[in-house]
């Protein structure tokens, strides 16, 4: 044991030296107050005591100091470790000033809400111990806020492999752990549990609605919704209740309404994004998705006998004619859709950016009847292009089925392919299908595009789309890491079960 202490000390000092002044200052204050606690009752003087926090005493300074007060060496280690983790994981994304603001907001809110809870408990029970025997102090409140922030920025990181636990489940697991410790009597007070709960809640409210960054304020993404902190079985009920509360707060002008924003960066691209998406987090997800995509594409190319789709000739013009005839009964009537003129190009690129985007690969907006020497491409930015021009299809008729999670952009992809324009507003559909006549190497090929539905309600109906399938296109959204994880976990096994002899691209 003694031989590991110098190594641990060396790693600790190296990590501390690489942190900012904010992290060093908070850590130094924690250690200093711990040493001072040997001579002075620091939890009484600097911790939150509900009876002294409110009138007539007004010990309001304890709201600022209670988060750095520790009585035990393991509490000091947990406090300093939490602050250093913020310096390594959150400070590069936020900056030192924003980290200090987050530290202050979470600690002040946790102390105030916990003190108010004990005051209300006293009103209900008339037990003076809830006012003067309780000491709220330590790292519990800030730990709750930090775990919520880590769920927002790197929630898909695997913490344990057996059993598999991701970082996004950490806030709920730590809350359950503290509750079990309290019920078993290992915690002599419920103050850490209350501080942790209110710290996590205040951290989520601040990050969800008020944190300022380059793209606006807050984070209104679905993966950071309040219901996402609960088990999947409870998420619908919690989501409904949270939605009602949010709507009431919006009417009271306390919270702002969630809106979608359309950012037109250039004539060649249109991006749909939700306000409050962190650019650094989006770039991290983009790089991970591109890496996984390139690896799987390479594996498919090496293992399958699918013909080469690399560009060999760029001189041939491809004529594409689409119609919106549904291939399944019950589909939406597309008779009102404007048919594409013969020879009009279908040239759309799926961009793997921070949010789903679709852009014209030709670099200019499409014009009616304009001819381009470029055939229809379905590809990703920063990845090798794959063209339908040189796809050596053996039959005259080919069937392509699009699968993927719900709301990952399958409907939008079909609209772009069939109408050669990006739909600014569209209603997601299920089982919408199109037929495109494509000229490939001088041969007319009929390409049937079959849409599916990713929701569990359609699991029994979806297999009807698989018979006679030639190609499967698996789609996912960069903004939804779960949709990428479901490719190997859900969609690949399902497709292999119903269509065991086909190559797939995603």
**Considering the entire predicted model, what is its pTM?**
0.55
Per-residue pLDDT, 328? 40
Three-state DSSP class for 260? coil
Say if CB 279 and CB 215 are below 8 A apart: yes
Domain annotation for the chain: domains and CATH numbers: 4-224 (1.20.1540.10), 228-258 (no CATH), 263-505 (3.40.50.300)
Per-residue pLDDT, 340? 40
Closest CA to 451 of 297, 328, 320: 328
CB burial string 360-379: b at 16+ within 10 A, e below: bbbeeebeeeeebebbbbbb
Per-residue pLDDT, 195? 97
> What angle, 0 to 180 degrees and rounded to 10, lies between the N-to-C axes of helices 279-303 and 140-154?
50
Q: How many CB atoms lie within 10 A of CB 84?
A: 20
Per-residue pLDDT, 99? 94
Alpha-helix residue ranges (DSSP H) falling in 126-234:
129-132, 140-154, 170-184, 191-205
CA–CA distance, 218 with 198 (Å, rounded to integer): 19
Per-residue pLDDT, 393? 41
Per-residue pLDDT, 446? 77
The two most distant CA atoms of the chain are separated, in Å, by: 91
pLDDT in tens, the chain (506 residues): 566 667 777 777 777 777 889 999 999 999 999 999 999 999 999 999 999 999 888 999 999 999 999 999 999 999 999 999 999 899 988 999 999 999 999 999 999 999 999 999 999 999 999 999 999 999 999 999 999 999 998 888 888 877 888 889 999 999 999 999 999 999 989 999 999 999 999 999 999 989 988 778 888 888 899 999 998 899 999 999 998 998 888 888 777 776 555 444 433 444 444 444 455 555 566 666 666 666 666 665 565 544 444 444 444 444 444 444 443 444 444 443 334 443 333 333 333 333 333 333 334 344 444 444 333 334 434 444 444 444 444 447 788 888 888 778 777 777 776 666 666 655 666 566 777 777 777 777 777 778 887 777 677 778 888 888 888 888 888 877 778 888 888 888 888 888 877 665 55
Closest CA to 158 of 18, 4, 288: 288
Per-residue pLDDT, 369? 42
Per-residue pLDDT, 379? 40
Both tokens assigned to 102: 């987050």
CA–CA distance, 249 with 158 (Å, rounded to integer): 35
Both tokens assigned to 341: 């003129």
């Amino acid at each position: 044991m003694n031989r590991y202490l110098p190594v641990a000390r060396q790693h600790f000092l190296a990590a501390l030296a690489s942190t900012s002044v904010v992290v060093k200052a908070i850590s130094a204050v924690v250690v200093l107050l711990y040493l001072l606690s040997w001579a002075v009752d620091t939890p009484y003087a600097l911790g939150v005591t509900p009876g002294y926090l409110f009138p007539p005493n007004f010990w309001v300074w304890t709201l600022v100091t209670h988060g750095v007060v520790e009585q035990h060496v393991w509490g000091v280690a947990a406090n300093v470790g939490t602050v250093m983790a913020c310096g390594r994981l959150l400070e590069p994304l936020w900056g030192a000033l924003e980290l200090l603001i987050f530290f202050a907001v979470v600690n002040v809110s946790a102390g105030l809400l916990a003190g108010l809870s004990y005051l209300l408990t006293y009103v209900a029970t008339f037990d003076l111990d809830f006012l003067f025997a309780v000491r709220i102090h330590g790292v519990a409140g800030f730990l709750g806020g930090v775990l919520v922030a880590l769920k927002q920025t790197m929630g898909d990181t695997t913490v344990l492999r057996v059993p598999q636990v991701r970082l996004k489940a950490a806030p709920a697991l730590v809350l359950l752990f503290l509750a079990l410790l309290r019920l078993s009597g290992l915690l002599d007070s419920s103050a850490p549990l209350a501080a942790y709960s209110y710290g996590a809640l205040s951290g989520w409210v601040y990050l969800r609605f008020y944190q300022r960054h380059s793209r606006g304020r807050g984070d209104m993404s679905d993966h950071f919704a309040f219901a996402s902190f609960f088990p999947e079985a409870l998420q619908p009920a919690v989501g409904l209740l949270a939605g009602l509360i949010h709507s009431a707060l919006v009417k009271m002008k306390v919270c702002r309404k969630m809106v979608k924003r359309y950012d037109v960066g250039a004539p060649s691209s249109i991006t749909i994004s939700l306000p409050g998406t962190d650019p650094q987090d989006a770039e991290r997800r983009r790089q991970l998705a591109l890496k996984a995509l390139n690896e799987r594409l390479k594996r498919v190319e090496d293992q399958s006998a699918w013909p080469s789709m690399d560009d060999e000739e760029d001189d041939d013009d491809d004529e594409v004619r689409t119609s919106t005839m549904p291939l399944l009964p019950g589909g939406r009537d597309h008779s009102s859709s404007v048919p594409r003129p013969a020879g009009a190009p279908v040239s759309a690129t799926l961009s793997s950016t921070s949010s789903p985007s679709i852009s014209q690969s030709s670099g200019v907006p499409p014009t009616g009847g304009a001819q381009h020497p470029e055939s229809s491409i379905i590809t990703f930015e920063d990845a090798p292009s794959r063209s339908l021009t040189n796809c050596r299809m053996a039959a005259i008729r080919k069937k392509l089925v699009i699968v993927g999670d719900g709301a990952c952009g399958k409907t939008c992809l079909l609209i772009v392919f069939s109408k050669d324009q990006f739909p600014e507003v569209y209603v997601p559909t299920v089982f919408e299908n199109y037929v495109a006549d494509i000229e490939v190497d001088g041969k007319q090929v009929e390409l049937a595009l079959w849409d599916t539905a990713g929701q569990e309600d359609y699991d029994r109906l979806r297999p009807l789309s698989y018979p006679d399938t030639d190609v499967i296109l698996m789609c996912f959204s960069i903004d939804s890491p779960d949709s990428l994880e479901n490719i190997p976990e859900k969609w690949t096994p399902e497709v292999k079960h119903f269509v065991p002899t086909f190559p797939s691209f995603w």
